[in-house]
Amino acid sequence: MDLTVKLKNADDIDHIATGVQPTPFHSRTSKLNMNQQWVEWCGYATAVSYMDAHIEYFATRNTCAVFDMSPMRKYRFKGPDAEAMLDRMVTRDVSKQALNTVAYNVWCTDAGRVVDDGTLFRLADDEFIVCCADPCYDWFQLAAVGFDAIEITDISEDLASLALQGPTSCALLKQMGFSGIENCKPFEIVKFPYLSGEMMISRTGFTGDLGYELWIDPKDAEALWDELFDKGYNYGIQPLGDESLDMARLEAGFISPDVEFHGALHTVEPGHDHSPFELGLGWIVNFKKAHFTGRAALLAEKESGNYRRLVKLDIEGNKPAESSILYSGKNCKQEIGYVTSAMWSPVVKANIAYGLIDAKYIDSEIWAEIYHQKELRWYRKVAKCTKVKKPFWAPERAKATPPPDC
């Protein structure tokens, strides 16, 4: 069998990625990355940290920081059937989402297992953009079966994006000339003319603090970065890497793909996928709307109550419970779950974590078996865990409109 790919002409190979690709901001991020440590995200290079993860993290809490989120996958849904198709796919009621707003969402298999999570932007009655961490184009095409009046387009390469996060972020945007940005409410979208085209700004982010996400044509990416760092000097701007972003999102009580959960299409072992209820996302599962994928399975799970719970934990001591097993007693005989994320929180001054607990032990005492190293020697510690309901970090400025100038 001849498996040779026949090309029409040499230009046909231009779209084929060869190795890890630079983002539209790479010419700037690579110069600031003193560590030159990169990881691959959807085929693109993203910085682990630029100099020190804690310096970058503190910028999200005291000044402002910029994270290159261009590798995120972005898909446009356009046409008369766009709303109905998305409403059948995701767990929230899309028909209730107002124009020029953003809503966090998940979409599931028929078995009620999470395929992925992401943000849904409503730009018009018949136009939406979905942003997610992993490629989902094939799933979206399957979900659109039966809907003829819709066009789904992968626009990932058509939008460069930055997350500008921290208490001075709004003041910096005003300094850049985005008049009225202070009136943008959480999860709202505003648009401004900028450089050769248009800037879309959403009051969204992954740090739990005041922040915005900036969406722009890739050809204007470098100019945007330069202006941010030129005018942001007096606002304490810093570049933000993966490590520091992960610290901030854990304090904010946000889950992360491939950390708290694997998408159901990427797991092999039974039980290694998750439902929205297991991940604490029951608040975005709407059973009042019409049928959506996974509805029957999710309703049965909710009524049974027999599902694991992802809980926030305040753990005694100061040794992070990374990769720890959780037990129902100090003797560590009955295993009840495991830690998905853990850290010592510099701002909260607490040893915090996410833990996934088996349903029948959710009301039991929780103890973490922690192994930590000191001068090349390993030590074992058993620490008591206290369940916490609210996010560890949720300052008033994150919701205030207009936010205070810091």
For 182, the token pair is 């202070």
Whether the CB-CB separation of 312 and 257 falls below 8 Å is answered with no
Which residue type occupies 346?
P
CA distances, 3 to each of 6, 8, 9, 11, 12 (Å): 9, 16, 18, 20, 17
CA–CA separation, 67 and 77 (whole Å): 26
CA–CA separation, 174 and 89 (whole Å): 38
**Torsional sign, CA 34, 39, 41, 45:** positive
CA–CA separation, 253 and 391 (whole Å): 5
Please give the helix or strand (H or E) that residue 27 lies within, else none.
helix 26-32
- Bridge-based pairing of strands 44-47 and 38-41 is antiparallel
- Dihedral pair phi/psi, residue 157, rounded to 5°: -85, -5
Q: Decide: helix, strand or coil at residue 148.
A: coil
Q: What does the DSSP 8-state code read for residue 380?
A: E
- Bridge-based pairing of strands 160-165 and 211-216 is antiparallel
- Dihedral pair phi/psi, residue 378, rounded to 5°: -95, 140
If one counts every other C-beta atom within 10 angstroms of the C-beta of residue 374, the result is: 8
278 in a labelled binding site: no
Q: Summarize the annotated binding site as residue ranges.
A: 213
Q: Summarize the annotated binding site for substrate as residue ranges.
A: 213
